[in-house]
């Protein structure tokens, strides 16, 4: 679909976000705060697991459409949950505002990854940001200097 | 004495060792990402007690976000802010409550995944200031919590935290190679 190194970075990002989405119900396992950070009902857990798995699959297979689909699914789930919270006491996603926030997070993470245009293959000409960076393209000398 | 010139400072720096960059080891980047995720979760978790669509509007006794908005008038921190809340926010409470819900959901979501992190860190600082102006004198509130929130967002902005294991770090090279307006805005925002 696109160049090797660039593709692998985008695909890795999709895989990591997908795993994060699938693992996010762990934040709701505890019975109460402070360990219970997000409210997850059964249907919300299923949504997170299915869409997370879809993002992971899209990353592993380099199928951007699947990543976009997962991101769109999370956006739709967040909007649907807000509508349901606004209409009445019960909702089919089994969550609250915190669930909206976490679904929105995976939507805004997966959609730009899935929709990113192809990166030119010559990565050596990239301009480097100063200070803290992702580190994957730093010269070895700078990395050595940067160790605490 | 306080008006040391820039040239004087520059000469001093030139005579001494060059200024060292912030550490960018994997450990450092991992810790910065952890702080970013934690701050994102802070905002997201605090959406749980805000209940749309009315957010406790005109409830008696006051509940939900309406109760916390009233505190800004009952325990005045900054008189112009209290006037603003009393005359503009409370009469149009549901609108401002939805705005709060949406803004805080976006701060949490974007910081959690590290997209446009510097921009959303600034929004987080602005939102924290609004909370400070409303709640700082509320009984039983630990005021350092709000100052620590400001500090955390300043750090996220200063180190451009989304570049460490965030979406910014993955997409920034693409945005830098693109000349359209959105890409240039995202380079600045990240």
Q: Which residue from B minimizes the CA distance to A12?
A: B170
B3 belongs to a structural domain: no
Query: Are A132 and B160 a contacting pair at CB < 8 A?
Result: yes
B21 belongs to a structural domain: no
Q: What's the pLDDT score for residue A147?
A: 34
CA-based torsion, A119, A122, A123, A127: positive or negative: negative
pTM: 0.84
State how many domains chain B has. 1
Please tell me what DSSP assigns to residue B86.
I
B173 belongs to a structural domain: yes
pLDDT per position as a tens digit, B18-72: 787 777 899 999 999 999 999 999 999 999 999 999 999 999 999 999 999 999 9
- Residue numbers of the domain that contains B142: 26-189
CA A13, distance to chain mean position in Å, is 8
B4 belongs to a structural domain: no
Domain boundaries, chain A: 4-120
Please indicate if any CB of chain B lies within 8 Å of the CB of A80. no
Summary mean pLDDT of chain B: 91
Lowest mean pLDDT among A1-15, B88-102, B150-164: A1-15
Nearest to B170 by CA among B118, B120, B115: B115
B34 belongs to a structural domain: yes
Query: Are A86 and B169 a contacting pair at CB < 8 A?
Result: no
> Which among B20, B26, B109 has CB closest to A101?
B109
The answer, yes or no, to whether residue B174 has pLDDT greater than 50, is: yes
Q: ipTM value, please give it.
A: 0.88
Q: What's the pLDDT score for residue B23?
A: 76
Interface residue of A19, A89, A134, A141 to substitute, partner B, most B CBs within 10 Å: A134
| A93: Cβ contacts below 8 Å, ≥ 6 apart | A41, A43, A44, A47, A77, A80, A81, A84, A99
> Which among A37, A104, A142 has CB closest to B109?
A104
CA dihedral B42, B44, B49, B53 (to 10 degrees): 150
B155 belongs to a structural domain: yes
| B45: Cβ contacts below 8 Å, ≥ 6 apart | A33, A37, A38, A98
A131: left (phi over 0), alpha (psi -120 to 50) or beta: left
Query: Are A106 and B113 a contacting pair at CB < 8 A?
Result: yes
């Amino acid at each position: 679909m696109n160049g090797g190194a660039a593709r692998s970075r985008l695909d890795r990002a999709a895989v990591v976000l997908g795993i994060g989405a699938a693992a996010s119900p762990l934040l709701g396992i505890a019975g109460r705060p402070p360990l219970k950070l997000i409210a997850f009902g059964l249907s919300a857990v299923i949504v997170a697991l299915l869409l997370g798995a879809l993002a992971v699959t899209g990353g592993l297979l380099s199928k951007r459409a699947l990543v976009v689909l997962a991101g769109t699914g999370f956006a739709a789930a967040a909007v649907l949950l807000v509508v349901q919270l606004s209409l009445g006491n019960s909702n089919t996603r089994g969550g609250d505002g915190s669930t909206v926030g976490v679904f929105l997070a995976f939507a805004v993470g997966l959609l730009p990854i899935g929709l990113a245009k192809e990166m030119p293959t010559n990565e050596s000409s990239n301009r480097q940001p100063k200070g803290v960076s992702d580190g994957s393209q730093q010269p070895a000398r700078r990395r050595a200097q940067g160790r605490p | 004495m306080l008006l040391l010139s820039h040239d004087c400072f520059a000469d001093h720096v030139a005579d001494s060792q060059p200024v060292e960059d912030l550490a960018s080891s994997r450990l450092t980047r991992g810790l910065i990402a952890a702080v970013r995720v934690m701050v994102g979760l802070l905002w997201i978790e605090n959406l749980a007690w805000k209940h749309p669509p009315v957010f406790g509007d005109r409830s008696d006794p006051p509940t939900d976000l309406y109760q916390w908005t009233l505190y800004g008038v009952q325990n005045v921190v900054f008189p112009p802010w209290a006037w603003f809340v009393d005359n503009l926010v409370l009469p149009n409470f549901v609108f401002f409550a939805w705005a709060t819900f949406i803004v805080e959901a976006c701060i949490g979501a974007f910081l959690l995944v590290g997209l446009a992190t510097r921009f959303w860190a600034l929004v987080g600082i602005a939102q924290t200031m609004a909370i400070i102006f409303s709640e700082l004198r509320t009984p039983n509130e630990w005021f350092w919590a709000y100052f620590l929130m400001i500090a955390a967002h300043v750090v996220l902005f200063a180190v451009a935290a989304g570049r460490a294991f965030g979406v910014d770090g993955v997409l920034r090279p693409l945005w830098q190679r693109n000349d359209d307006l959105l890409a240039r805005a995202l380079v600045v925002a990240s």
